[in-house]
Amino acid sequence: MFRLVHLDVKRRRGRLRYVVSTETGPGVDAAPQHDAAPVDATHPTEAGPPTDGGTDVTQEGSASGVFSTAPVDFGLADCGGKPATATQSYGFQNNGPVAITWSASVAGPVFAIEGPTSGSVAPGASGSITVGVTTVPATSTAGTAILDTFTLTTNVPGFSTVSVPLTVTPHGGSLTLTGPAGFGSVTLGKATTVPFTLTNAGNAPVGVTLGAPTSAQFVLTYTGAPAAASIAAGQSLPGASATFTPTASGAQSATAAIQVTGVLCASPATSIALSGTGTTSPLSIGPSPLDFSTVGCGQSVPPQAITLQNSNGVAIPYTTTLGLGASSPYKLDAPTGTVPANGKAVINVTPNPVPAAANLQAGAYDETLTITPQGVSPVSIPLKESAVGALLLVGMANPHFGTVTNTTKTLPAVIFNNGNQAATATLAVTGAGYAAAFTGSNSVPPNGGSVNANVTFTASTNATVNGTLTASAPNMCSPLPTPVAMDATAEVPVATFPKGKGPFNLAITCGSAGTSGGFLLQNAGSAPMTIVNPVSTGGHFAISGLTSPIPAGGSDTVTLTAIVGSALGSAAPYPDTLHFTTDEVGGPAYSIPVSVTVTGVNLALSPPSFAFTDCNSQSFAVVTTGVMPPNGVVTVQGTPPYCVGDCPSGVGFSAGFDTAVNAGEQPDGVRGDGARLPGAHPDQRDVQRRSLRELRLEPLLTRARVNGRARAPSSRPAQRPPSPSSPSSRTSRGAPRRRRTHARSIA
């Protein structure tokens, strides 16, 4: 077999171009001809190698993108206002070959989409959606986050629904009041003082002043009164107390306003209620009632004291009785005793812990303590306590997901609260592939309130999967919610390679068909499998097969065929990779190693262009790269005629170049050949064989003698020389006739 490489130099519109072609021996198809790009002769550059045989293996794929599910926290926002940064942008990137279509929503009303709620993002571009906080309600609980979910729906496999938690935290003060309980029975004209606690349970400081009680028999005071006091978050009003000095017998009462400056969120305490009874008895007993307020299920509270103050000079014995007797939820540390003369006695009252399965009716743990002093009328003191907590119930109208084929299915759920206290609920699921999230806030209102949630199942294995859904809260009472049983049948694709997956070694000789290799791709799963973006990363082979989708249980034969996909220049195989992804769980990427050996030659002229003056010559070299010894012909043609070597007669001439060189090297000189250069001088051919690595191109000038002198070149356009067969083309001795032509540049 032999291979000839032709380099044809041509001039077109003032520029030189060359044409590379090859000829092969029997049994090998000729490679197609390729035109090199025009090269400006005034700025020579190295000619690039031909790029014949390249095949575009890029195939259209499905949408692909980069999405985040990280929570978006707007931080603190004053109750009745907005956060410092009222809007935030959610961004995502389209890194696939097709546009991403999307739509976005939030449950509201605290959060809202600002701007477009749907759109399209082109390949390579980014999408941005603005989410904002409208107004945090003034009745919000300070420090308790308001939650919502930003839901993004797209056409990207695996990201059809993207859920992003949204959070904003109400900021402000919140006042709670403990005491003062009623003063009980107080001897007329005697002052009785009891402390009370006004606490800022919020997360921001507030300024507080106390208004004057509506009855002058009561007085309120605190440290620094009457000036406004600043109560920091988590702190109490210092030195707060109330005094009752009855001036009339019987029950007395009054109220005093709590005046606040600063941001105030939901605040249970807005005023202070005062009560007491004026009596002529020398024994003052109080406070009354004794209020333990509300206690969570399973919790307990510290004891409170009842004080018996004796203004008489004689000691007074006493006894006590609890209305419920042995079943009373309270204990007394001094059920009987004596109040010393002009002294006092203290009875500590301790409630029993509230049971986990508590009675949540208001006043369910109320009791009456009766104190009977000797010689004095009995005094009844109400003991007050109520249990509070959440009673959660989880409901799903349909907990059966059915068959879920390589996707995510969503079913609704509802969380009810039959307790008497709001619950900050948490959802929990069991079973692979199940997940649950609230569609809006997770704060479940009391007394039959409810919130909505979504339960999702994502197919991840070929099996029937059972799961449960339940809810919990820190303040839950018994009984705990019964878990909801769920079931789903999952179907997913599973790629297998029964005959292995490489590596594959392919080969191709320029001008011939390349060898092929391949593998069997089988879908062993129960759902169709989509192939995404199969590509030869190096461009050295073509792909057939990898049809999409591959049905469940089906298979596809993949064939890889070597092509001349890039420049030659190395005898070593070209490393390449077949890369593709599938819509299996996790979207795995497959990289199959492929190596391609390319046999052939790339040729180029150096320099790639020439400029001539009268009777001068230019030289050039034939540069070769590749993995075959060069064996070819240099062909020169043009008008005016150009020649290679000694300028013999004729228009088109060629010179062979050496074939005895190693692959990838430059030829050992481009030499004239007597068989191909008729008329060339033998000595010149010998010189070329010894040392030249170039060919000389000279303008062919024909000269005529006038009066024994050579005539200067004419300014007339050059004429086409006569053919060698024309009688006028030779002298009487048969020598070539020389005619005057112009020196012409082919730049």
- Residue 384: strand, helix, or coil: strand
Bigger pLDDT: 742 vs 99? 99
For residues 457-473, average pLDDT: 95
Q: How far apart are the first and last CA of the chain?
A: 38
pLDDT in tens, 95-141: 989 999 999 999 889 999 999 999 999 999 999 999 999 999 999 99
Report the share of the chain in percent with pLDDT over 90. Answer: 57
Distance CA(77)–CA(142), nearest Å, equals 10
Q: What's the mean pLDDT when you consider all of the chain?
A: 78
DSSP conformational letter for 711? P
For residues 7-33, average pLDDT: 40
pLDDT in tens, 411-426: 999 999 999 999 999 9
Q: What angle do CA 445, 201, 135 make, to 5 degrees?
A: 55
SS3 letters for 396-431? CCCCEEEEEECCEEEEEEEEEECCCCCEECEEEEEC
Residue 506 has pLDDT above 70, yes or no: yes
For residues 576-598, average pLDDT: 90
- Residue 557: strand, helix, or coil: strand
428: which strand partners?
470
pLDDT in tens, 517-544: 889 999 999 999 999 889 999 888 999 9
Which one, of 591, 588, 531, 534, lies nearest residue 555 by Cα? Answer: 531
For residues 166-177, average pLDDT: 95
- 34 token code pair: 């390729």
* DSSP-assigned states of every residue in 607-669: SS-----TT--EEEEEEEEESS---EEEEE--SS-EEESS--SSS-EEEEE---S-TTSPPS-
> Which residue carries 């003369």 as its tokens?
341
Neighbours of 125 (CB within 10 A): 12
Domains delineated in the chain: 3-47+631-701 (no CATH), 65-171 (2.60.40.10), 175-388 (2.60.40.10), 394-491 (2.60.40.2310), 495-599 (2.60.40.10)
pLDDT of 18 reads 39
The answer to whether 490 and 463 are in contact (CB under 8 A) is yes
Rounded to the nearest 10°, the torsion over CA 714, 718, 720, 721 is: 40
Distance CA(17)–CA(10), nearest Å, equals 5
- 451 token code pair: 């919130």
Residue 32 has pLDDT above 50, yes or no: no
Strands 589-599, 504-509: pairing kind: parallel
pLDDT in tens, 331-381: 999 999 999 999 999 999 999 999 999 999 999 999 999 999 998 889 999
The answer to whether 312 and 283 are in contact (CB under 8 A) is yes
Strands 161-171, 72-78: pairing kind: parallel
Bigger pLDDT: 462 vs 599? 462
- Residue 103: strand, helix, or coil: strand
Distance CA(604)–CA(7), nearest Å, equals 8
The answer to whether 283 and 187 are in contact (CB under 8 A) is yes
Distant-in-sequence, close-in-space partners of 303: CB < 8 Å, separation ≥ 6: 333, 348, 349, 350, 351
For residue 613, with 0-12 CB atoms within 10 Å meaning exposed, 13-18 middle and 19 or more buried, which class applies? Answer: exposed
Which one, of 657, 565, 619, 625, lies nearest residue 6 by Cα? Answer: 657
| Residue 549 preceded by cis peptide, ω within 30 | yes
pLDDT of 624 reads 63
Which one, of 378, 415, 421, 412, lies nearest residue 393 by Cα? Answer: 415
> Which residue carries 């062919």 as its tokens?
700
Bigger pLDDT: 598 vs 239? 239
Amino acid at the residue 532 = V
Which one, of 589, 497, 496, 579, lies nearest residue 541 by Cα? Answer: 579
pLDDT of 702 reads 31
Report the share of the chain in percent with pLDDT over 70. Answer: 71
pLDDT of 565 reads 66
User: 50-54 — which CB contacts under 8 Å span 24+ positions?
Assistant: 50/20, 50/602, 51/566, 51/567, 52/510, 52/564, 53/508, 53/510, 53/563, 53/564, 53/565, 54/539, 54/563, 54/564, 54/565, 54/566
Which one, of 632, 626, 574, 561, lies nearest residue 600 by Cα? Answer: 626
Distance CA(311)–CA(325), nearest Å, equals 31
The answer to whether 509 and 28 are in contact (CB under 8 A) is yes
- 562 token code pair: 């070597």
Residue 27's pLDDT band (cuts 50, 70, 90): very low
Distance CA(331)–CA(383), nearest Å, equals 11
Residue 640 has pLDDT above 80, yes or no: no
Distant-in-sequence, close-in-space partners of 168: CB < 8 Å, separation ≥ 6: 73, 74, 75, 76, 77, 83, 110, 111, 133, 136, 145, 146
pLDDT in tens, 216-229: 999 999 999 999 99
For residues 695-710, average pLDDT: 34
- 192 token code pair: 């009785």
pLDDT in tens, 369-387: 999 999 888 999 999 999 9
Residue 699 has pLDDT above 60, yes or no: no
pLDDT of 319 reads 97
What are the distances in angstroms from CA 388 to CA 181, 338, 356, 443, 472? 20, 37, 10, 16, 16
Residue 615's pLDDT band (cuts 50, 70, 90): low
> Which residue carries 């420049």 as its tokens?
567
Residue 548's pLDDT band (cuts 50, 70, 90): confident
Edge-to-edge strands, sheet with 589-599: 504-509, 589-599, 574-582, 531-536
Residue 658 has pLDDT above 70, yes or no: no
> Which residue carries 């060189």 as its tokens?
661
Choose the weakest-confidence range: 72-76, 230-234, 573-577, 697-701: 697-701
pLDDT of 262 reads 95
Distance CA(193)–CA(244), nearest Å, equals 6
Which one, of 633, 623, 608, 709, lies nearest residue 667 by Cα? Answer: 623
pLDDT of 305 reads 93
Distance CA(457)–CA(488), nearest Å, equals 8
Distance CA(375)–CA(378), nearest Å, equals 9
pLDDT in tens, 43-95: 333 333 333 333 332 334 678 899 998 999 999 999 999 999 999 999 999 99
- 606 token code pair: 């150096």
- 599 token code pair: 């046999």
For residues 592-608, average pLDDT: 78
Choose the weakest-confidence range: 116-125, 442-451, 572-581, 593-602: 593-602
Distance CA(695)–CA(655), nearest Å, equals 8
DSSP conformational letter for 362? T
Distant-in-sequence, close-in-space partners of 316: CB < 8 Å, separation ≥ 6: 282, 283, 308, 310, 338, 339, 373, 374, 375, 376
The answer to whether 634 and 673 are in contact (CB under 8 A) is no
Distance CA(428)–CA(396), nearest Å, equals 14
The answer to whether 232 and 205 are in contact (CB under 8 A) is yes
DSSP H or E segment with residue 553: none
